[in-house]
Amino acid sequence: MNTKKLFSTVAFAALSALGAPASMAAPQVFFGETLGAGEDVRLATFANATTARNSFLSNLTGVGTESFETFGDGTGAPLAISFAGAGTATLNGDGAVASTAPGETNGVGRYATDGNKFWENSGVFTIDFSAPGAAFGFMGIDIGDFNGQVTGTRGNGGPTLYNVGNTMGGAGGGVLFWGLIDTAGFTSISFGNTQSGTDFFAFDQMTIGSIQQVTPVPEPETYAMLIAGLGLMGFVARRRQRKLVG
């Protein structure tokens, strides 16, 4: 192979590596929890939960979030929700939309993290996607003060169970964020409660992302190929320059 052809081949390989789509990554779970200060205290900030949510969102682009502000109090399932770029999701099962006055809880620890409305629940509810999703996250409020553990089950063929990992037996009014990104895709996600009927939770700021909305991150081998290719390009360029000077 002559020098010019080699240079062109290496350049194409390096640029192809840079633009190559990311390979299928392992599922990522995001979690952060800010403990509560009592059932009558509505936290103004919740740093740990917000940090986890920001980390989750940094992997996505153009996603939509549902804060339930357009639904009337008492609206139950099935509840159709539209998410930008990810189609429609239908919330089925237990629960209903509830609200509080600004700056207050509902008297037993629950409130919204965005606006004043939220989804209140004690049993099992499922979000079914109109098209396969790759990301789902939510803010959870007042979870675990009566020792309830939230579980999430991703549905896509065989189900995968996740324990959210909330603190149990703490003060009311805490806020957590839990999110999942799985580029294998999933068609539904369900949430359960180990103390159904006893421990009631609030859910807010539900975010759904499609596979296309997950920001691609090149795998380490892609970076290695790019660096090696650029290094070889530099070597070829220097060799050509020496020939021209000689």
CB 36 within 8 A of CB 173: yes
Together in a domain, 180 and 242 = no
- The runs of H, that is alpha helices, within 20-111 are 47-57
The total number of structural domains that make up the chain: 2
8 A C-beta contact, residue 122 and residue 165:
no
Regarding whether 148 and 77 lie in a shared domain, the answer is: yes
Query: What is residue 109's predicted lDDT score, i.e. its pLDDT?
Result: 95
Cα 37 to Cα 49, 58, 169, 176, 198: the distances in Å are 15, 29, 13, 14, 20
CA 149 – CA 199 distance, rounded (Å): 9
Q: Which two tokens stand for residue 159?
A: 């189900």
pLDDT by 10s per residue, the chain, length 246:
554 444 444 444 444 444 433 445 788 999 999 999 999 999 999 999 999 999 999 999 999 999 999 999 999 999 999 998 888 999 998 899 999 999 999 999 999 999 999 999 888 889 999 988 999 999 999 987 666 666 777 776 567 878 888 888 889 999 999 999 999 999 999 887 776 666 788 999 999 999 999 987 545 554 455 455 556 556 555 666 666 555
Structure tokens at 160: 């995968």
Please check whether residue 235 is in contact with residue 13, taking contact to mean a CB–CB distance below 8 angstroms.
no
φ and ψ of 25, to 5 deg = -90, 160
Main-chain dihedrals φ then ψ at residue 198, nearest 5 degrees: -115, -50
- At residue 156, the pLDDT reads 67
The reply to whether 17 falls in a domain is: no
Domain shared by 179 and 160, yes or no: yes
- Whether the ω angle into residue 78 lies within 30 degrees of 0, i.e. cis, is yes
pLDDT at 103: 96
Q: Which CATH number does the domain housing residue 122 bear?
A: 2.60.120.1360
**How distant is the alpha carbon of residue 129 from its chain centre?**
15
Rounded Cα–Cα distance for residues 163 and 126 (Å): 16
| Same-domain check for residues 181 and 237 | no
pTM of the model: 0.76
> How many other CB atoms are found less than 10 A from the CB of residue 100?
17
The reply to whether 130 and 228 lie within a common domain is no
- Residues 74, 183: one domain? yes
Q: Does residue 122 share a domain with residue 179? A: yes
Range of the domain at 229: 219-246
The confidence score (pLDDT) of residue 11 equals 44
Query: 109 with 179: CB under 8 angstroms?
Result: no
Q: pLDDT value at position 161?
A: 79
Q: Both 160 and 192 in a single domain? A: yes
Whether the CB-CB separation of 141 and 195 falls below 8 Å is answered with no
155 within domain boundaries = yes
Terminal-residue alpha carbon distance, the chain: 21
Token pair belonging to 229: 């290719």
